[in-house]
């Protein structure tokens, strides 16, 4: 199965991360894991819960190195201009001969930069009983396949946004006040995605102080985030804002976007569209969670009350896949079937700490929602 076609057909929906392993058998008496399929076909609509309009991050990034990459892959960056090559001023040739002046001028060099992508494996296993398959009102196998594709797409986005391998008691942007859970204890010990790959967008921006303390949201906060990107905020089409629905709700009420006198037929009060501040697209994504004021998430959920805005220079994110997405169906004699989905994925973000002149990510923290 072609991986990119699979991703293109998958949305974010309500799927869990692909690495979560339910450790449960879908069966006729297990509400929440399959019993709902038995009485009627209402849950068949879940098959179509791959919502294309809730755009995913991955297809928006130009730094794709391909599929079937080796375990560790080093290559020049894709889609990113490391430095500008300029033409020299040229004067008229007035002296000497051709052989004397052939090398009597400076030479230009085309600068390059290499990145290394180290593949990380992800897996999801779903067990389905014989009775579930015999008596359901929908095609359970097809349903699970689609949900796995959905989950794969979300997981890849999730690790790019939240990846942080810090295992200490403090410092992880996803669990600042206690060591992050490296596994889901209630999910059969499945690995927790953000600890699998380091230096996601939030970790890179927050730990390097590429931040803007927003407070009450204003339109110029988006301009300030582009200012952190410096020269990489020059072209709006190369940049992207990523934020949760809570921030978008506040954004839509700003006068600059809401009022007809400012926005014409794009006024949010009229059409409810997501604005494009300063020409930069906004991706509304549920992987950007509420946090504490410093931009990091607390292990105590009630402490997470602040919104967040991510600004990225899209070409700086380099990524690729290892093995193809594989879906294997294994028979468990006398009981049912096990569906096992696996894929390998790697990414890295080229930023101001990797020989670029300016940061390639910025984070707006402490957004009042």
Output DSSP code: residue 170. Answer: S
- Residues 109-126, mean pLDDT to the nearest whole number: 83
What's residue 4's pLDDT? 52
Which tens digit of pLDDT belongs to each residue from 193-225? 667 888 999 999 999 999 999 999 999 999 999
Output DSSP code: residue 91. Answer: P
Which tens digit of pLDDT belongs to each residue from 70-113? 999 998 888 776 566 677 777 777 777 766 656 666 677 666 67
β-strand partners of 114: 76
What's residue 101's pLDDT? 59
Beta strand 326-332 with 190-191 is: unpaired
Percent pLDDT > 90 in the chain is 34
The four Cα atoms 137, 138, 140, 145 give a dihedral, to 10 degrees, of -170
Task: Give residues with Cβ within 8 angstroms of 364, minimum separation 6.
Answer: 211, 212, 214, 221, 222, 224, 225, 308, 309, 310, 311
- Is the overall model pTM greater than 0.85, yes or no? no
Does the pLDDT of residue 149 top 60, yes or no? yes
Does the pLDDT of residue 318 top 90, yes or no? yes
- Residues 4-14, mean pLDDT to the nearest whole number: 49
- Cα separation, 329 vs 339, in Å, equals 5
Buried b (16+ CB within 10 A) or exposed e, 245-264: ebbbebbbebeebbeeeebe
Does the pLDDT of residue 44 top 50, yes or no? no
Average pLDDT value for the chain: 78
């Amino acid at each position: 199965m072609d991986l990119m076609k699979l991703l293109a057909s998958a949305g974010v929906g309500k799927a869990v991360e692909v690495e979560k392993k339910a450790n449960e058998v879908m069966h006729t008496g297990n509400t929440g894991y399959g019993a709902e399929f038995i009485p009627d076909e209402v849950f068949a609509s879940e098959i179509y819960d791959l919502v294309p309009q809730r755009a995913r991050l991955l297809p928006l990034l130009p730094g794709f190195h391909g599929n079937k990459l080796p375990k560790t892959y080093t290559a020049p960056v894709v889609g990113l201009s490391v430095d500008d090559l300029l033409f020299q001023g040229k004067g008229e040739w007035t002296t000497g001969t051709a052989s004397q002046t052939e090398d009597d001028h400076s030479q230009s060099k085309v600068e390059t930069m290499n990145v290394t992508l180290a593949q990380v494996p992800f897996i999801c296993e779903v067990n389905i009983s014989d009775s579930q398959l015999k008596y359901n009102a929908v095609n359970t196998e097809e349903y699970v396949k689609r949900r796995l594709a959905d989950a794969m797409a979300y997981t890849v986005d999730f690790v790019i946004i939240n990846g942080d391998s810090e295992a200490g008691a403090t410092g992880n942007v996803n669990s600042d006040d206690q060591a992050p859970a490296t596994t889901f204890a209630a999910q059969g010990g499945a690995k927790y995605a953000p600890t699998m790959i380091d230096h996601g967008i939030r970790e890179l921006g927050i730990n390097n102080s590429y931040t803007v303390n927003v407070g009450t949201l204003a339109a110029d906060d988006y301009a300030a985030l582009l200012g952190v990107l410096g020269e990489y905020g020059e072209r709006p089409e190369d940049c992207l804002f990523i934020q949760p629905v809570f921030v978008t709700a506040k954004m839509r009420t700003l006068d600059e976007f809401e009022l007809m006198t400012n926005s014409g037929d794009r006024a949010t009060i009229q059409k409810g569209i997501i604005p494009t501040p300063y020409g930069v697209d906004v991706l509304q994504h549920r992987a950007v969670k509420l946090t504490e004021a410093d931009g990091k998430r607390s292990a105590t959920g009630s402490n997470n009350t602040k919104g967040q805005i991510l600004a990225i220079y899209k070409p700086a994110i380099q990524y690729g896949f290892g093995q193809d997405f594989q879906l294997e169906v294994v028979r468990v004699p006398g009981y049912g079937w096990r569906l096992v989905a696996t894929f390998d994925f790697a990414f890295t973000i080229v930023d101001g700490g990797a020989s670029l002149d300016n940061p390639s990510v910025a984070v707006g923290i402490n957004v009042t929602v």
